[in-house]
Structures are given as structure tokens and as C-alpha cells.
Amino acid sequence: MTAQAAAAGGAPDAEIPGGGAASITVEHLTMRFGGLIAIDDVSLQAATGRITAVIGPNGAGKTTVFNCLTGFYKPSVGRLILHHPRHDYLLERLEGYRTAQDAGVARTFQNIRLFPRMTVLENLIVAQHNKLMRASGYTVLGLFGFKGYRDAEAKAVELARYWLDRIHLTDKADWDAGNLPYGDQRRLEIARAMCTEPLLLCLDEPAAGLNPRESHELNSLLTYIRDQHKIGVLLIEHDMSVVMHISDHIIVLDYGRKISDGTPEQVRNDPAVIRAYLGDDEEGGGGPS
Amino acid sequence: MQNSFAYFVDQLINGLTLGSIYGLIAIGYTMVYGIIGMINFAHGEIFMIGSFVSIITFLILGMAGVTWVPLALLIVLIVAMLLTSIYGWTLERVAYRPLRGSPRLAALITAIGMSIFLQNYVQLLQGARNKPMQPVISGGVTVMQDQGYVVSLSYMQMIIIVVTVVLMAAFTLMITRTSLGRAQRACEQDRNMAALIGVNVDRTISLTFVVGAMLASVAGLMFLLYYGVIDFFIGFLAGIKAFTAAVLGGIGSLPGAMLGGLLIGLIEAFWSGYFTVEYKDVAAFSILVLVLVFRPSGLLGKPDIEKV
């Protein structure tokens, strides 16, 4: 019932299921492609220091939400507010790269998009590009090896090493990223996103194609990010073992509308969710036995 | 005489000199192709503008009484790099950026249009006549003597080869070690993803044009000093040759551009030396045709294998 109420209301000031302060607030997001309505008046919030999962059947509009958040699409209606310590950013008004640079939103894709012909380490350092550009006086000073730049570079390498450790790729740091096994590439993508030092990390099906062991490793990486770095993690996932295990808060989309919003416990027992996933039942609302 | 070793060495020196100039221009082609996938046909004109800026600066310095050659060269070098890179930046900003995301053909036609525009622009401002310049650097050393044939290496040739090696080393360092170089490679491999990790893609592309124009302007200055005469049309042939060099080396590959430039220079020099000077361009462009037919990805380029 509480889940239903939250879904219907979407009041921005309502407490977020799973707790925590809001990292992102999406208000009345609608996305139309010609006559097709991909997202229909969706409001949601994700909290810092929590993992928020967005689930739903195929074509529910999950990835479209991500594309709106990261500036690939301009929403037809709605506001996307990122709560930054400095001030709030309206993501729909930010130009491409500023979403990452200023607002601190990082994302990964369903299909892996590393820089395949750069080394693992370089993939992590290029993600710290803006810091380094400023430190190097836009490369001019860097070419002459000024101290400030070398320090910044050393720090960037340090951060990269830290994440390499976390994802167990330290000994493959000099490999071309494109030659890594699939599971390693997935984790490297997340590490690269983290190297931009984001406030909100959007992961689009990070567990897709992973075997159970890799998917377990992913779970511990994500909970590590949540607990140690205290940022908001927004997650699209089909793998329920991942979703139910690590999410603090679940949002369910179906046909572009939000049908449920609550803690994993609430969502699991929400009749609307069961209907969407298992089809309409004659008895209506009967939970799985 | 043609059979002597000395003659061979002479041609080798000529080829290396010419190849250095081609190589510096070719980098601009290959870099732009790598990052935005278009052939910037106006790049040859940027080289030509580099030459013109150099000759004008020399004249101004001469009038101002700066006659100490090293100082004059340094000033000309800096002014040429600065002004030419502004041309490169403007070219991208005005002609190419508005067309980003439009079909490749549109960008290609615009590039050819800009090439013609810049040629005419210089022709109108500077006149169509040849612009000769007094040799600034003369003299040289005798490398060897064989059957009465004297091979000498002029100071100018030495400077051209050394400057090219230094610039290419600095440029390689920039691409592999600096954050701008990393950003350029990231943009080349996946532009959208680069933006998502906070790389300002537009600025990176602009800087690519600036760097390419700087290298071309140095080539322009050295061309002026070496041949002592320029006109508004030199960019066309040099540009096409450098483009051939980039394709020969594998377009998009930076070491490929350097190698391709060197090879085209050598082919031209040896062809002129052992066959006929009249057909040296035919030799260079036959190479272009052969490469396109038998190895479209070039010597160092990676063949496009699509994963299915």
C-alpha cells in the first residue's frame, strides 16, 4: 500500500524508500518519440549512499530514463534535478560533457564501451581528464613537465591504482582494454565511471552476461561503492539475484509508467509488480506461492 | 654517374628532406581523420598559409632591422605557428563544426570548398605571382666524394631533418603521455563515451586542428626556406602528396603518417634521380592508386574487421 501511494504521489519531499538524502530527483519525466510515449510522467528519487534499482520488463523505458539523465535525450516534459553540494543542477539543460564534468553523473552501458585500444590504466586516467587538463595548463605546461602537472598526474595514477585494486585488475594494468575477458571489462567500466568521481553512478545492466561468480563479485563491488564512497547508485538490472540482494530501494517501470516504488520487501509483494511480470491472473493480485 | 654510390646518397638526402616536409603535413590529415573521420582537404592550404605568414614575417623583420638569423628564425617560427593555428582553429569552427553529425559527403565537399576559398583568399590578398625570398641559411658540409661526384648536405637540409625529428618526437610524446593526447585517443575511439566521462569533445577536436596547423606551418616555413619561392598554389600539390603519404601509411595511424611521408619523399627523389623528373608526380600518385587497390588500410593501419 505504501508503495502504491508513493508511486501515485511522487511528491518530491516524501521520504525515499530505503532512506538517505536525495541524490537525484526526477519530476514528471515524459519522453515522446513522435507518437510513441516511451516514458509517461515518471517521478522518482534516488538517494545518496543507497543502491536504487530500476527494474521492469523489456521496453519499459528504463534505458530511456538513463539516456535522459546523461543528456543523450532531451526530455519532452519534466525536470531532472541533481542535488550537488554546491547547488542543484537541472540535468536536462546541461550540454553533453557537462553532465559528467560539472554535475557528477557517470554511467555505463548495456554493451561495453571501453576505449579498446587504450590500456586498462589509461582508461582510468582519461576519466580524470578535466582535473589533469586544468593542472597541466591545458597541456602546454604539461609538455614541459611542470611540477604541478606531475603531481596531478601522480595523483591520477594513484586513484586509478586504487580502483584497479578494487576490481582485481592491477596485474593487467598494461593490457589493452579490448583484450580483457568480458567480466573484467564490465568491472573496468564501473571503475572508469568511478574515476570521474561522480555523485551519481548510473549502471545499465552491469550483470548482463556475467557468470554467477562474476555476478557475486559485482555485488560486492557495488556494495563497496555504496558503503565506502557514499554516492548514489542507480541500477538497471534484470538479474533478480543482484537486484534483491543489494538494492535498498526498487522502482518498477512498465510500459513507460512507474507501477511500484519501495523497499525490496514492498516491491516483491506488490500485486501490480507481480501482474506486470507474470501476466494478469484470473484471481488478480494472487502472490506466488 | 648514376651508378655511383654517391649519387644514391645524394638522392637519399633529397628524399629525406622532402619526406620530412610531407610527413609533417600528413600528420594533420591523419589526426583529423582519426578523430572525426573526415579528410580535411583544406589542410594543404593551411600549410600554404604557414608559408605566407613566414615570408611576410621575414619581410617585416627585415624592415625592422632584425638581421641576426637565429633570432629572426625563432620569431618567424613562433609567429607562423601562432597565426596558422588560428587559421586551423577558425577553419574547424566555421566550416566543420556546424556540419558535425551530417553525412560525410557534406563535410568532404565543404573541405574542398574551403580549400578553394583559402587559395583564392591568398591569391587576392597576396597576388598570383611567385614570391621569392633570399636564402637565409646557406652553406653546408661535404658528405662524400666519389668519382668526382660531390655529395653535400646543406645546413638547411640538416635543419629540416632535425626539426622534423624533434617535432615528431614531441608530438608522439604529446599523444601518448599528456592528458590532451589521451583525450584525443578517447575521442577517436568513442566520442560519445568520451563526453560521458567529462571530456569536452568539441574542444578536443579544435585542439586537434590547432596542433595539425602548427605542424603544417613549420612545414610551410621549411618549404619556404628550402625552395626559396612560394605561391598561392603550393598547398594543393603538397597537400595531395601528404594525403597520399597518410593513406600509404594507413590513414588514422600517426606513425603511419610519418613513415608514409618519408616513403613518398624518397620515392619522388629516387624517381627523379634515376628516371625522369617530369614523371615524379605520376610515381607518387601511382603509389596512391596501388595502395588503395591492394592495401586500403595502408602500411601501418589496422584493417577494418567488423566483429559479428
Residues B116-145 have pLDDT tens digits of 999 999 999 998 899 999 888 888 888 888
Cβ–Cβ under 8 Å, residues B230 and B55: yes
User: What are B152-179's pLDDT values in tens digits?
Assistant: 899 999 999 999 999 999 999 888 888 8
User: What are B188-227's pLDDT values in tens digits?
Assistant: 999 889 988 888 899 999 999 999 999 999 999 999 999 9
**pLDDT of A94 above 50:** yes
Mutate to test the interface with B, among A73, A111, A139 (most CBs of B within 10 A): A139
> Average pLDDT for residues B177-182, to the nearest whole number?
87
pLDDT grade, residue A4 (50/70/90)?
A: very low
Q: Tell me if B178 and A139 make a contact (CB, 8 A cut-off).
A: yes
Q: How many angstroms away from the CA of B174 is the closest CA of chain A?
A: 7
pLDDT of residue A14: 60
Chain A hits for B189, Cβ within 8 Å: 115-118
**pLDDT of A141 above 70:** no
**pLDDT of B71 above 90:** yes
> Average pLDDT for residues B245-272, to the nearest whole number?
91
Q: What are the boundaries of each domain within chain B?
A: 5-294
Mutate to test the interface with B, among A111, A115, A140 (most CBs of B within 10 A): A115
Q: How many angstroms away from the CA of B217 is the closest CA of chain A?
A: 18
pLDDT grade, residue B253 (50/70/90)?
A: confident
Residue closest to B95 by CA, chosen among B72, B118, B62: B118
> Average pLDDT for residues A35-63, to the nearest whole number?
88
pLDDT grade, residue B15 (50/70/90)?
A: very high
pLDDT of residue A139: 57
**pLDDT of A12 above 50:** no
Q: What is the CA radius of gyration of chain A?
A: 20
pLDDT of residue A281: 55
User: What are B277-292's pLDDT values in tens digits?
Assistant: 888 888 888 888 998 8
A138 to chain B, any CB pair closer than 8 A? The answer is yes
A122 to chain B, any CB pair closer than 8 A? The answer is yes
**pLDDT of B21 above 70:** yes
pLDDT grade, residue A75 (50/70/90)?
A: confident
Q: Tell me if A192 and B199 make a contact (CB, 8 A cut-off).
A: no
Cβ–Cβ under 8 Å, residues A4 and A270: yes
Q: Tell me if B198 and A100 make a contact (CB, 8 A cut-off).
A: yes
pLDDT grade, residue B65 (50/70/90)?
A: confident
* Contacts for B39 with CB less than 8 Å, ≥ 6 apart: B29, B32, B33, B108, B111, B243, B251
Angstrom distance (rounded) from CA A53 to CA A195: 22
Match 530500476 to its residue by C-alpha cell: A54
Q: Tell me if A97 and B182 make a contact (CB, 8 A cut-off).
A: no
Nearest CA in chain B to A152: B179
Q: Tell me if B195 and A126 make a contact (CB, 8 A cut-off).
A: no
Q: Which of residues 159-178 of B touch A (CB under 8 A)?
A: 170, 173-174, 178
Q: How many angstroms away from the CA of B195 is the closest CA of chain A?
A: 4
Please state which architecture CATH assigns to domain B5-294: Orthogonal Bundle (1.10)
Angstrom distance (rounded) from CA A198 to CA A194: 6
User: What are A178-204's pLDDT values in tens digits?
Assistant: 999 888 999 999 999 999 989 999 999
Give the largest Cα separation in chain A, rounded.
75
Q: What are the boundaries of each domain within chain A?
A: 1-104+198-284, 112-197
* Among the ranges given (B21-25, B160-164, B296-300), the one the predictor scored with the smallest mean pLDDT: B296-300
Q: Which residue has the higher pLDDT, A147 or B53?
A: B53
Chain A hits for B190, Cβ within 8 Å: 113, 115
Cβ–Cβ under 8 Å, residues A23 and A207: no
User: What are A30-46's pLDDT values in tens digits?
Assistant: 988 888 888 888 898 88
Chain B hits for A117, Cβ within 8 Å: 185, 189
> Average pLDDT for residues B79-89, to the nearest whole number?
96
Chain A hits for B305, Cβ within 8 Å: none
pLDDT grade, residue B85 (50/70/90)?
A: very high
Q: Tell me if A118 and B182 make a contact (CB, 8 A cut-off).
A: yes
B130 to chain A, any CB pair closer than 8 A? The answer is no
Chain A hits for B182, Cβ within 8 Å: 118, 122, 125-126, 129
For chain A, the three-class secondary structure string (H helix, E strand, C coil) is CHHHHHHHHCCCCCCCCCCCCEEEEEEEEEEEECCEEEEEEEEEEEECCCEEEEECCCCCCHHHHHHHHCCCCCCCEEEEEEECCCCEEEHHHCCCCHHHHHHCEEECCCCCCCCCCCEHHHHHHHCCHHHHHHHCCCCHHHHCCCHHHHHHHHHHHHHHHHHHHHCCCHHHCCCEHHHCCHHHHHHHHHHHHHHCCCCEEEEECCCCCCCHHHHHHHHHHHHHHHHHHCCEEEEECCCHHHHHHHCCEEEEEECCEEEEEECHHHHHCCHHHHHHHHCCCCCCCCCCC
Q: Which of B173, B182, B207 sits opposite A125 (nearest CB)?
A: B182
**pLDDT of A5 above 50:** no
Please state which architecture CATH assigns to domain A112-197: 3-Layer(aba) Sandwich (3.40)
**pLDDT of A84 above 80:** yes
pLDDT grade, residue B1 (50/70/90)?
A: low
CATH class of the structural domain A1-104+198-284: alpha beta
B124 to chain A, any CB pair closer than 8 A? The answer is no
pLDDT grade, residue A137 (50/70/90)?
A: low
As given in the structure block, the three cell numbers for residue B271 are 624517381
Q: Which residue has the higher pLDDT, B296 or B45?
A: B45
Half-sphere exposure of B2 (CA within 13 A, CB side): 7
Q: Which of A116, A153, A195 sits opposite B189 (nearest CB)?
A: A116
Chains A, B: CB pairs < 8 Å = 89
**pLDDT of A146 above 80:** no
Nearest CA in chain B to A96: B195
Q: Tell me if A136 and B179 make a contact (CB, 8 A cut-off).
A: yes
pLDDT grade, residue A140 (50/70/90)?
A: low
pLDDT of residue A92: 80
Q: Which of B181, B186, B198 sits opposite A115 (nearest CB)?
A: B186
A159 to chain B, any CB pair closer than 8 A? The answer is no
Chain A hits for B193, Cβ within 8 Å: 109, 113, 115
**pLDDT of A3 above 60:** no
pLDDT of residue A284: 46
B210 to chain A, any CB pair closer than 8 A? The answer is no
Q: Which of A72, A100, A133 sits opposite B197 (nearest CB)?
A: A100
Cβ–Cβ under 8 Å, residues A280 and A20: no
**pLDDT of A289 above 50:** no
pLDDT of residue A95: 78
> Average pLDDT for residues A59-71, to the nearest whole number?
87
Q: How many angstroms away from the CA of A100 is the closest CA of chain B?
A: 5
> Average pLDDT for residues A59-64, to the nearest whole number?
86
Mean pLDDT score of chain B, rounded to an integer?
90
Q: How many angstroms away from the CA of A115 is the closest CA of chain B?
A: 6
> Average pLDDT for residues B105-123, to the nearest whole number?
94
Q: What interface predicted TM-score (ipTM) does this complex get?
A: 0.80
One-letter amino acid at A59 equals G
Angstrom distance (rounded) from CA B177 to CA B171: 10
**pLDDT of A6 above 70:** no
User: What are A203-245's pLDDT values in tens digits?
Assistant: 998 888 888 888 888 999 999 999 999 899 999 988 887 888 8
Query: A1-104+198-284 with A112-197: one CATH topology?
Result: yes
Cβ–Cβ under 8 Å, residues A4 and A272: yes
> Average pLDDT for residues B92-101, to the nearest whole number?
92
